[in-house]
Structure 1
Amino acid sequence: MIKFFRKIRQNLLSENKFSKYLIYAFGEIILVVIGILIALSINNQNENKKDKTKEKVYLESLYQELKQDSIYLEKTNNTLASIEKNGRYVISIIENQKKITSDTLKFLNAVRRMIASNQTLPEPIIWKELQSSGNLRLIQNRELIKALFAYYHKANACQQDYKDNAHHFILDARYFDSKLFSIEDQDDYFDNWKKDNIPSHKVLQTLLSDKEFYANAKGIVTGMIISRKVLSGLRKNLEIPLAILRNELNEK
């Protein structure tokens, strides 16, 4: 084909048909441009197809990640509810110490459960990958992008609220023994808990009478109430991107 066009050019030049040569040359340029445009169009179609495939993979991964988030948030809510319940029981015993004679071990276990757990939220692995890799551009649904940003922003706020409130009181209650007990007392305090036996009278009375511990217990309960309300809002917020993703995947 190239030899054919070259032969035409040579014939036109040899016959001094310069005007016809210019017309021919212009036509050849147009053909080249058309060829380039067709090649670019095919390449763009291939790239768009690849992007669509990647987008679907990311949408499916996001959907699975958010479904796991939903399960995890429900478990976290149950954990916070358990901490609140145990905290309320501890406070009721401290405020009415006559009850301690009925079930001392229950009180001690409630103290242990009140300070043993932390709230942690799932790590958004797929979301972080989308942002760090620049592949967020693959997600065509702008409503979904907006909903995801709103959800993860609220998740960060939820985690920060827990650290600033409930977790602060939990840590204070967890480590107050280092300020109040001797080494022997601490051995008795923890070893007997592990065996589900009752620590010495001194340790028990300290738990019941220390004002700082009482204040921390109330702080933990208050923190749990606030954190659970914030967490409830986060769970509702999560339903928005989940619903959009369901529709997107059904359509695709």
Structure 2
Amino acid sequence: MKRILSILNDKWPEYILEILVITIGILGAFALNNWNENSKNRSLVEDYYCRFLADIKQDEIQLNILQEESGLRLIKSNELLRELLLDTPEKEKSIELMLQATSKISYQFTPISAGYNDLKSSGNLNTFTDQTIVDQVGTYLQEAEGLANNISTNGRIGLDEMFEIDDFHAIGFIDNTFLKEGLDTTIIRKELLDRNPLTPLQLKELRHVASLLIAVNYRNNLHYSSILAKIKDLTPLLENKCYLSQN
């Protein structure tokens, strides 16, 4: 025992130094591991911000095209009603305008949610320190999907009303581009097609459809503007986060 105590008395500074080295090494390893984990988490979070931004940018491009098409349908809807309110509206022009006013009217816009869905399914949600932006992305997707459904529903209503027309042959569809180009004149005699003027009842029916198309296309234009406004609000927040991750 005395020998042990003598050795400890002589070498205690060495032992303490060795203990300190071991302790510092262990703590350093833990600190390095934590730093690596935090660094990985930061990189993961920053990558998601950039993915969110890329998704809404793609939505914005598509929405601008869809809104432009919707605006054109609105113009054609008004031109159709103007034509039908004339004393002697032209059948051919009226039908062409109606087809233009309903072109792609029921298209279903779907916001891109690849990044957000991946985040939810991966279990990485708890890595975000700024939960507010994640919630805003989720809110945007939810509201955009709701408005997109309304747009598609409104479009189907417009199409349904158009296809409720009693007599496409008599009302002037024989003069629309699609029928003309699809008509097989080797078996169909064009001179036998209905060329009678529109009757008061047919005019009433077409004016009803034109009026509905104006309302539907205008309403859908507002929905597109609403979704684009949400993207405009969200974009700078994501751009800031994504920019910081790239620098």
- Give TM-score scaled by structure 2 length: 0.71
Tell me if 1:129 matches 2:122: no
Displacement of 1:62 in angstroms is 1.7
Structure 2, gaps ≥5 residues long: 5-15, 184-189
Equivalent position SS for 2:88: helix
**1:70–1:238: 8 Å Cα contact kept in structure 2?**
yes
Distance, in Å, in 2 between the alignment partners of 1:37 and 1:208 is: 89
Displacement of 1:194 in angstroms is 5.4
Tell me if 1:237 matches 2:227: no
Equivalent position SS for 2:80: helix
**Correspondence for 1:215:** 208
What is the aligned counterpart of 1:180 among 167, 174, 188?
Answer: 167
Matches for 1:9-158 after TM superposition, within 5 Å: 38-100=28-90, 104-117=91-104, 118-119=106-107, 120-158=109-147
- CA separation of 1:203/1:53 partners in 2, compared to 1, >3 Å: closer, same or farther? farther
**1:151–1:237: 8 Å Cα contact kept in structure 2?**
yes
Equivalent position SS for 1:162: helix
- CA separation of 1:202/1:115 partners in 2, compared to 1, >3 Å: closer, same or farther? farther
Structure 1, gaps ≥5 residues long: 1-11, 16-26
Higher relative contact order, structure no. (Cα contacts within 8 Å, ≥ 6 residues apart): 2
Give CA-to-partner distance per residue, 1:67-96, whole Å, 9 cap, x none.
121121111111111111111122222222
Distance, in Å, in 2 between the alignment partners of 1:168 and 1:204 is: 29
Name the count of aligned residue pairs. 224
Displacement of 1:125 in angstroms is 1.9
Equivalent position SS for 1:98: coil
Displacement of 1:229 in angstroms is 1.5
Amino acid paired to 2:72: S
**Correspondence for 2:155:** 167
Give CA-to-partner distance per residue, 1:117-148, whole Å, 9 cap, x none.
13424332222222222333344333322321
**2:41–2:127: 8 Å Cα contact kept in structure 1?**
yes
Distance, in Å, in 2 between the alignment partners of 1:208 and 1:245 is: 56
Give CA-to-partner distance per residue, 1:39-74, whole Å, 9 cap, x none.
444333222211222222222222122112112111
Displacement of 1:35 in angstroms is 6.7
What is the aligned counterpart of 1:192 among 180, 188, 194?
Answer: 180
Distance, in Å, in 2 between the alignment partners of 1:193 and 1:170 is: 25
Distance, in Å, in 1 between the alignment partners of 2:122 and 2:195 is: 59
Distance, in Å, in 2 between the alignment partners of 1:232 and 1:149 is: 19
- CA separation of 1:226/1:106 partners in 2, compared to 1, >3 Å: closer, same or farther? same
- CA separation of 1:68/1:33 partners in 2, compared to 1, >3 Å: closer, same or farther? same
Cα RMSD, aligned residues only: 3.9
**2:76–2:98: 8 Å Cα contact kept in structure 1?**
yes
Give CA-to-partner distance per residue, 1:158-208, whole Å, 9 cap, x none.
1122234x213232145336x5357xx97886421658x9x9436974898
**Correspondence for 1:4:** none
